[in-house]
Amino acid sequence: MLQAHLPQAVFDASGPRRLVLVTCGGTLEPDHLYNDSVVVYATPVKTA
């Protein structure tokens, strides 16, 4: 998936700290490229 098709929030560096992971998803096409992307957001948790 092209960068232009990812949610704008992926590139937003303002606000609280977070980790954004973008990886391949969907079906592997005959041209050896995946037809989708998976975006995961992670935020830190407070520890005792």
**pLDDT tens-digit readout, 18-29:** 999 999 989 999
φ/ψ (deg, to 5) at 35: -95, 5
What's the rounded Cα separation, in Å, for the pair 36 and 18? Answer: 22
Name the pTM for this structure. Answer: 0.69
What's the rounded Cα separation, in Å, for the pair 46 and 48? Answer: 7
- Domain ranges within the chain, ordered by starting residue: 3-42
List of residues 6+ apart from 8 with CB closer than 8 A: none
**pLDDT tens-digit readout, 31-43:** 998 888 899 999 9
What's the rounded Cα separation, in Å, for the pair 38 and 22? Answer: 6
